[in-house]
Chain A
């Protein structure tokens, strides 16, 4: 629902006096993906951590076993690199978008 307080919205280089919707105000600003981070794509429970900090991994090597939606999913590495930090533990429930692991 709109609120009645007027503010400005710039469209086509012109500032319009208008009100903003709740949805518009709450929209997430764009943040570019950091290729060094492995994010959780679906909420679930970490069942296994296959790698250790400092370990060198190849692209497509399994990093975690994540149980989500009654399925056991291997979270695979998307690059060749060295694991800098592991940010979740077995039994933890990461949310969608949460950082699971960071590469050097």
Chain B
């Protein structure tokens, strides 16, 4: 064969594989509002940066007439590319090829690109769109899944891992996304569950649609399994790019720096917080009033909204923000909000992202359901995550900081490097009403007018303790600041903490209350 013929042969071979499962399957895919696997990658990465590998990999299954079947690329596309100039490893399951089913070679392609990502120290993005295990390949298919999960776990905290669910992702397959750092879902396209509607119907007699069981809204609003919700695939890719811009390549690096930009004028920090401690406000307004260009990228926006977590920049550098949200459930800590905050704090700590915490909470959510659901164990995760974190930790107490909630929200006692308080802060063992009812119980009961006496005592307690100065007198608060100075104080604290180097006793690993 001449060189020209050899080249033509290459092009012909490539062309055959690149078509995936053929036009009919592609039409079916696009009719559902879904891009093809290859188009997804092209839409996600910078122009002309995608380099594909293992295009000619073939399955080795000989059972059930599988030897007569050719599956282009074995149903998955793998390669490397750039996002905003950032290198990434990517794989995308191709639903047009045998329903994106996962066989041994399909899994080998994925584990190979995962190994690359770990060795090269660059983020991994996995686009999931698969019917599940390739049943014909039997236990080899299960082995494939297991090897992916093993690598997800090994890569955890080493490189950022992003999962994008753009189709079904059911049964064992869900555990790869669950082990990764961020899960993106798209309305009406993503479907995640362990056991599907069919199984639920036969076993339990309960009828439910795929969408109601594990659609994008369910996963972002009810279960908290997913972190980002988008209305369509292109919006989803835009969100991924945003996220990538905030996180470092790996745990040895810092996130990219951007030019500093002042917050937008419309966020007037002096006018956000009502003086009355029982009145709500949106804590995200405080974040927007202090961060660069008022650009706050919220994570898990729709789940456990009583706490807010996300990324922002201060003076051009990425910070992780955690804030109690008085707008929802008065900003209490509960089972879900504890899980949400703890996971986010651990991500920031693993990837050298300083943590800024805004505190305004009345305490923990009371309730039998909370106690039965293990609010003790879940709440402990927040304490663990903050105490364990060695990145710079800066806390701003805006208003209420009572009892266990005060301790949990990155207090000095859990190792905060700097604790600032606004003059509106109330740092106390509990709220004035509750404290007065205990301390002055007898006096209130014995008074001729108990209600009037309670009012007097509550006022007495409020005047004496509902302020930041008792805590400041003990050095638990470093500075009581004018709200208008918050950004300046934060930027300075972050700047001087750049080379913070805190070590922990040697151990294999801690045992967080999972």
Contact = CB atoms under 8 A, between A and B. Distances in A.
Given A20-B329, A21-B329, A11 B203 contact: no
Contacts of B369: 27-28, 30
Most B CB within 10 A of own CB, among A6, A14, A15: A14
A2 B434 contact: no
Overall SS of chain B's interface:
loop
A17 B279 contact: yes
B205 interface: yes
B379 to A, nearest CB: 15
Given A9-B329, A18-B326, A19-B327, A27 B362 contact: no
Interface residues of B, number: 37
Interface in A1-48: 1-2, 6, 9, 11-24, 27-28, 30, 43
B255 interface: no
A49 interface: no
Contacts of B367: 27
Contacts of B305: 1-2, 21
Given A28-B369, A30-B369, A11 B328 contact: no
A14 B434 contact: yes
A8 to B, nearest CB: 8
- Counting chain B CB atoms within 10 Å of each CB, the highest count among A6, A11, A18, A43 belongs to A11
Contacts of A21: 304-306, 328-329
Interface string B311-337: 000000000000000111111100010
A71 B514 CA distance: 30
Contacts of A27: 367, 369
B280 A1 contact: no
Contacts of B23: none
Interface in B428-469: 430-434, 437
A51 interface: no
Interface residues of A, number: 26
A17 B278 contact: yes
A24 B330 CA distance: 12
Residue among A12, A15, A28 with the most chain B CB within 10 A? A12
A93 B402 contact: no
B221 interface: yes
A56 B326 CA distance: 57
A12 B222 contact: no
A20 B241 CA distance: 32
B363 interface: yes
Given A27-B369, A43-B203, A15 B329 contact: no
A2 B205 CA distance: 31
Contacts of B331: 18
Interface of B: 203-206, 221-222, 277-280, 302, 304-306, 326-332, 336, 362-363, 365-369, 402-403, 430-434, 437
Interface of A: 1-2, 6, 9, 11-24, 27-28, 30, 43, 68-69, 93, 95
26 contacts: A1-B305, A2-B327, A2-B329, A9-B329, A11-B330, A11-B363, A12-B362, A12-B363, A12-B402, A12-B403, A13-B431, A13-B434, A14-B362, A17-B279, A18-B326, A18-B327, A20-B328, A20-B329, A21-B305, A21-B328, A22-B221, A23-B222, A24-B329, A27-B369, A28-B369, A93-B204
